[in-house]
Structure 1
Amino acid sequence: MLYCPVTPAIPTTEPRRLWARVFADLTPLRASAHYRRLWFGNTVSWVGQQMTALAVSLQVYALTGSTFAVGAVGLCSLIPLVAFGLYGGAIADTVDRRKLGLFSAVGATLLSVALAAAALLDVRQVWVLYAVVALQAVCFALNSPARSSMIPRLLPPGQLPAANALSSLTTTLGMMGGPMLGGVFVGLWGYQAAYLIDVVCFTAALYAMWRLPAMRPDHGGDEAPRRPSVLEGLRFLATRPNLRMTFFADLAAMVLAQPRALFPAIAVLWFGGDAKTVGLLAAAPAVGAVLGALFSGWLGAVRRHGLAILVSVAAWGAAMACFGLTRHLWLGLFFLAVAGCADTISMVFRGTMLQAAAPDRMRGRLQGVFVVVVAGGPRLGDFLAGSAADLATPAVAVVGGGAACVVAVLLLALWRRDFARYDARDPRP
């Protein structure tokens, strides 16, 4: 494991106070100034990106009056993420990851400038917004693998679970707070306000990337490849059962037990609610995810990461099945929050395994696969849940999906028994 701290690392074996074992472990922020800047920059810029995402949706609807046109925004983002996610990871294993992260962040900043300029000039062509969203997704597909694969170079292995919990907190808070702030700024000063604030937010990420040292992939003394190879990364993953299982487990949860597409129908049919009820249903998993990240201090003591992933994914499926059985709104929200908390725990250990068990020369490509799975899995889950609800009922789709997730996890555990015995003290891919 290559680890090159630039500031003295705080030992992870020191006894911690009780509150530190319960609440999120902030040791990575104290241990590495580079990581601290990177985390802060990513947090600020992610809030800005979520503001922009909402502003684009609002602007598209204002121009077209079509919900289909708004839905097409997501498609414009998804296709580049899937298409360039794998390739972006391959590039991250070939070039200086700092430069790749910096250039892609500059590109995303300029695209936000373009959105602001179009809004100020009152450009009313929807295709312009679609094109910018697609290019933003390309920048993200290049930036995310580079940034994620740098973290094991900034922190020792024992601090990776805490770092991934902090990353989860960034993602969830950004998705909760960004749209809310975006709606406020658009309402007060127009679309250009959200876009310009996003530009300012990007400066934090640019500064963090600028201050990093060079981050060339470590090829173990071998000559670095001249061309990025996606196939080499896929062949590597095909021969590494533990790493492969992290993706299978995540797909079991996101594809089989993802009921968010049914929330509008569930709000009316089960709870007699309206749009506000849909908002509560959509927010509940995020609230659980935030709580899971805030009270994640104990995760650093867990060594059986494979077993933790299996248990947390099964808990997601079981919570979704229980949600499908209840007709009391607040109890349903509780089960959705439990599912969100379980998802955070799963994400922490899946991310840690990808960072700790993979050689540095392959981390970018594996993070590229991670981007594709995270982007595509929930969309497939939406399609499957919607289809099952049309063929049967929403209750059958939700309960059956949760049960199928639990069964899939049990089958995966039986298929790869060594995965449950994976030990973080001896990470084997």
Structure 2
Amino acid sequence: MSGRSATAVPLSRNRDFQLLWLAQTGSELSQHVFLIAYPLLAVALTDLPIAAGLLGFLATGVQLAFGLPAGLLADRYDRRLILVLASAVRALAHGSLAVALWLDAGSYLHLLVVAIVEGLALAAIFPAEEAALPQVVTTGQLPDAIALNTARSSVGQMGGNSLGGVLYGLTRALPFAANAVLQLLTTLALLFVRIPRHHGRDTSSVDSARRFWPELTGGLRWLLRHPTLRVITACGVLVNLGFGAFLTAFILIANAAGVPSGQVGVVVAMLGGGALVGALLAGRLQRVLRPYVSISAVLWGAALLTPLLALTSNMVVAGVVFALVGALVPLANTTIITYQLVLTPDGLRGRVSAAVGVFDNVAAALGPLVGSVLVQFTPGRTALFGCAALLLVPAVLAALNRTLRRFSGHTEEDDGKGEVTV
């Protein structure tokens, strides 16, 4: 279950981790450029706002549908090759759309195909990269590596959203051309990453077809049968659902109140700024705090801070609250992902990561829906308080769960639990 057994190379000199980090930073930037550009282009091509919603639904649906098979691929085949091929396919898809738009031949159908390719590629990338991380860093370095990945996500979100809007404003083709270049650079960097071959099952076995479904669901069964992984995953998914609902409700209510969209964007961007600061401290804090303390502190912090946003109409105060909440998130992410990887055998890491990703994607889809429904049928402040109440659920769950309270972070405490055939 551990990372490299040789003498630990500091992350600052770990060539493979740095290349992987840079490559995935490019991937994150590209993803967020696309998230800004595709709805604008969809409406421009069809003059129908629902066309943008359909694209988002299909991309998310593809990720959900392909989530578990992607985890199986990450456990059975060369993870570096999966990352390289996914990036190369994204480069081709975005590049083809950029050329079509440049030639004034872009179509909604073409954009639809690119969105589906994007969803499939992201589904493949997530478990392969997460499962590969313990292969390029030691177990002791995982908290710092995961914290740096969290910081990378914040940079990708802030930079990609800004870049996508600016480039689209210049010309429709430019965001997709930029994404093609970013993905080509990502592919090039990944070609030079050395990821040791993991011990996947021999896929040529005569009983491989008979074992397909048990193997496909192996990560999900491991996750559900493992007490510690089960509770920390549940906490993470529930807080994502609650905060997704809250964020959607906040944006809709601020817009209805006449707050300029630019101000709303700056306030929400404070989440990323806070997360970037929190990521710098998360690795160090994760090593000195018990898992119960670090996870509970974040969950209760979010549950107690978010109601403040229902009590104020001051956007400066709102920005500070978002920054504080954002600063808490990396500590929880670092703790949850670290123990998810450490407690999972290498042959199951891709499938467990994929299973967690499926739950997270469901939460990401349901959160905005819940938030919008609350805004539709309840007064503004009541909707925000309702969303804040959702965040109490994972906080109470963590506080009352005896398995999490007893877990000190030593993997031997969980030996023999939740065994699943690898």
Question: TM-score over 0.5 for the alignment?
Answer: yes
User: Which of residues 410, 416, 421 is equivalent to 2:406?
Assistant: 421
Equivalent residue number for residue 4 of structure 1:
4
C-alpha spacing 1:259/1:300, structure 2 compared with 1 (3 Å) = closer
Correspondence 1:401 to 2:383 = no
User: Which of residues 16, 25, 29 is equivalent to 2:12?
Assistant: 29
Deviations 1:107-166 (A, max 9, x none): 112112222222123224212101211111101101211111001011111111111111
Equivalent residue number for residue 323 of structure 2:
337
Equivalent residue number for residue 13 of structure 1:
none
Is the CA contact 1:5–1:154 (under 8 Å) kept in the aligned structure 2? Answer: no
Runs of 4+ more than 6 Å apart: none
C-alpha spacing 1:36/1:67, structure 2 compared with 1 (3 Å) = same
Equivalent residue number for residue 57 of structure 1:
39
Deviations 1:380-421 (A, max 9, x none): 11111222233322322222322332244223432x312133
Equivalent residue number for residue 365 of structure 2:
379
Equivalent residue number for residue 112 of structure 1:
94
Equivalent residue number for residue 138 of structure 1:
120
| Secondary structure, counterpart of 1:358 in structure 2 | coil
Equivalent residue number for residue 129 of structure 1:
111
CA distance in 2, matches of 1:404, 1:180: 30
C-alpha spacing 1:144/1:408, structure 2 compared with 1 (3 Å) = closer
CA distance in 2, matches of 1:68, 1:254: 25
Kindly report which structure 2 residues correspond to 1:79-118, keeping only aligned pairs within 5 A, or say none. 79-118=61-100
CA distance in 1, matches of 2:264, 2:73: 40
| Secondary structure, counterpart of 1:273 in structure 2 | coil
CA distance in 2, matches of 1:116, 1:389: 38
Equivalent residue number for residue 24 of structure 1:
none
**Which range moved further: 261-270 or 229-238?**
261-270
Equivalent residue number for residue 285 of structure 1:
271
C-alpha spacing 1:238/1:268, structure 2 compared with 1 (3 Å) = closer
CA distance in 2, matches of 1:368, 1:36: 23
CA distance in 2, matches of 1:66, 1:233: 40
Is the CA contact 2:143–2:287 (under 8 Å) kept in the aligned structure 1? Answer: no
Equivalent residue number for residue 352 of structure 2:
366
Give unpaired runs (5+ residues) of structure 2: 415-422
C-alpha spacing 1:192/1:59, structure 2 compared with 1 (3 Å) = same
**Which range moved further: 210-219 or 360-369?**
210-219
Kindly report which structure 2 residues correspond to 1:70-219, keeping only aligned pairs within 5 A, or say none. 70-188=52-170, 190-213=171-194, 215-218=196-199
**Which range moved further: 99-108 or 224-233?**
224-233
Equivalent residue number for residue 375 of structure 2:
389
- Aligned-pair CA distance for 1:285: 1.8
Correspondence 1:235 to 2:221 = yes
Letter of the 1:152 counterpart:
P
- Aligned-pair CA distance for 1:174: 0.9
CA distance in 1, matches of 2:304, 2:253: 18
C-alpha spacing 1:5/1:113, structure 2 compared with 1 (3 Å) = farther
- Aligned-pair CA distance for 1:355: 1.3
Question: TM-score, length-normalised on structure 2?
Answer: 0.88
C-alpha spacing 1:40/1:388, structure 2 compared with 1 (3 Å) = same
- Aligned-pair CA distance for 1:249: 0.4
- Aligned-pair CA distance for 1:269: 5.5
- Aligned-pair CA distance for 1:5: 6.4
- Aligned-pair CA distance for 1:185: 2.5
CA distance in 2, matches of 1:419, 1:297: 20
Give unpaired runs (5+ residues) of structure 1: 11-26
CA distance in 2, matches of 1:297, 1:242: 20
Deviations 1:328-378 (A, max 9, x none): 222222222222222222111111111111110110011112322332212
Q: Percent identity?
A: 26
Kindly report which structure 2 residues correspond to 1:306-317, keeping only aligned pairs within 5 A, or say none. 306-317=292-303
Equivalent residue number for residue 296 of structure 1:
282
Is the CA contact 2:223–2:229 (under 8 Å) kept in the aligned structure 1? Answer: yes
